Chain A
Amino acid sequence: GNSVTQMEGPVTLSEEAFLTINCTYTATGYPSLFWYVQYPGEGLQLLLKATKADDKGSNKGFEATYRKETTSFHLEKGSVQVSDSAVYFCALYSGAGSYQLTFGKGTKLSVIP
């Protein structure tokens, strides 16, 4: 079946530090890949997505590249801010007749001034 594995948290960084959150996946076929972000007390919001191999999704300074050869979709940001403190979820959609998004367990990021 499909699965998403992302790095365990929590992650604590100082403001302006470089961020990487690792995400690898197992899926049949050619899935679409997503990063969602959940700010405290809120629902999930789409951060970025990529629908085919070698695509790069980007938004708000965050980037992730769909690497089929390593089955990875790592999230990066060059300089984090306190406002980036949130829980980040990697997810995949495999299609193939299913409408289900498969989520990783989430990585909590705290950015300190």
Chain B
Amino acid sequence: NAGVTQTPKFQVLKTGQSMTLQCAQDMNHNSMYWYRQDPGMGLRLIYYSASEGTTDKGEVPNGYNVSRLNKREFSLRLESAAPSQTSVYFCASSGRGARGDTQYFGPGTRLTVL
């Protein structure tokens, strides 16, 4: 049982380049999330998908787009990368997104934008 998987693990981009971070879960969860982790900031929610076919903005959505491709997959796209987007990105999923529901995290993607 792989849980939540993310690709790639590491990426270096130049300013203005685009890329897509991939996330997949095999736990049949309804809800999926993208967070970014910056030193001294904890984790901040970028976008989430409460269920297949829906997406919503989180705390820091500017500069990002998402696609809930199917129930398993939730991708994060940077259309024109900026140095401020240098961060570690985590994908997570949860069963129903309901009260007290545990979120399960992937291993992360470390992105550097030069």
- Name A's B-contacting residues (CB within 8 A): 4, 32, 34, 36, 41-46, 49, 51, 89, 93, 95, 99-101, 103-106
State the total of A-B contacts with C-beta under 8 angstroms. 56
Contact B90 A43 (CB under 8 A): yes
Which residues 11-64 of B sit at the A interface, judged by CB distance below 8 A?
31, 33, 40-45, 48, 50, 56, 58-59
The one of A41, A45, A99 in contact with B33, judged by C-beta atoms closer than 8 angstroms, is A99
Given contacts A89-B43, A99-B97, A100-B45, contact A44 B102 (CB under 8 A): no
CB-CB < 8 A to B108: which residues of A?
42-43
CB-CB < 8 A to B40: which residues of A?
105
Contact A95 B99 (CB under 8 A): yes
Contact B90 A44 (CB under 8 A): yes
Closest 8 CB pairs of A and B: A43-B105, A103-B42, A51-B100, A32-B100, A44-B105, A99-B97, A105-B42, A103-B43
A106 to B88, CA, bound (A): 15
Chain B's nearest CB lies how many Å from the CB of A57?
11
A22 to B31, CA, bound (A): 30
- A-B contacts, 11 of them at CB < 8 A, read A34-B102, A41-B107, A44-B90, A44-B105, A99-B31, A99-B50, A99-B56, A99-B97, A104-B42, A105-B41, A105-B42
CB-CB < 8 A to A95: which residues of B?
98-99
CB-CB < 8 A to A93: which residues of B?
99-101
CB-CB < 8 A to B102: which residues of A?
34, 46, 49
Interface centre among A43, A44, A46, A103 (most CB of B within 10 A): A43
